[in-house]
Amino acid sequence: MWKIALCQTDVIFRHPKINFDRIEQAIIEAAENQADVIIFPEMWNTGYCLDELLEFADINGEKTKNFLSYYAKKYHLNIIGGSVAVHLEDSFANIMYGFDENGDLISSYKKVHPFQLMDEHLYLEAGSDTNLFRIKDVPAAGFICYDIRFPEWLRKHSALGAEVLFVSAEWPEPRIDQWEKLLVARAIENQAFVVAVNRVGNDPANHFNGHSLVIDPHGEIILHAGEQEGNFYTTINLEEVKTVRESMPLFADRRPELY
């Protein structure tokens, strides 16, 4: 059993210092509630101030990595660090970092599918690598927002063994119904837990209304965070994945040579 904390926080536009302080408080609360894993939203350090990343993005992700590693180790807490805006040597990227309870880096994932409707493709370098890792010896994978519209990308990770699919997002309110439907579909077709966190609040162009979810391998929603800000908690039983996959051998019946 894992106790999961979903940090459904606001992201203060162009204010990394405030955002780091908010994430710090969320980590402390999750530790006090004896969570095993905490997950944060997308681009939580800056928001989508894409034309100002030279000023606000984290240089090589060093501040974020040091920060998350320190608190993961201090509280023996596995952290799926959402994603942050990172200033690389000659580009910018939207990167998810994950740390285990020893403070060791287990995930560094550059978003594979930049979202054109929010101009990501104009400012952010796309990744090309998978994001498989293990938490407490359980295979898992991590994705960022728009990735969930590409079922083949999540299926690739599940076919390689992932049993928990973590998703971090800044998903605007007008398409929130699609967010829920897509996530339920991803859980059912991959026979996996989906742990998905979305931000709340506003930036200059969008309203975000949460609806963070935890979905079991049957596609049943076991946690719906609504629209309020805060940490939300639930437990998941990883044995359910094995039970569902044994009862319907979906992966054994695939015909990947045809598609």
Q: So which residues are the catalytic ones?
A: 42, 111, 145
Q: Provide the Cα torsion 106, 140, 171, 181; round to 10°.
A: 180
Contact 175, 160 (CB under 8 A): no
Which of 42, 33, 80, 20 minimizes the C-alpha distance to 172? 42
Number of helices followed by number of strands (H, E) in the chain: 7, 16
Chain centre distance of CA 234: 16
Helix-strand-coil split of the chain, %, nearest 5: 35, 30, 35
Dist CA 89 CA 61 (whole Å): 11
What is the rounded distance in angstroms from the CA atom of residue 259 to the CA atom of residue 257? 6
Tokens of 257: 């040579």
Q: Which two tokens stand for residue 182?
A: 């897509």
Phi first, then psi: give them for residue 138, nearest 5 degrees. -100, 130
CA angle 244, 225, 155 (to 5 degrees): 35
CB of 222 closer than 8 Å to CB of 215: yes
Whether 124 contacts 94, CB under 8 Å: yes
Q: Is the distance from CB of 235 to CB of 222 less than 8 angstroms?
A: no
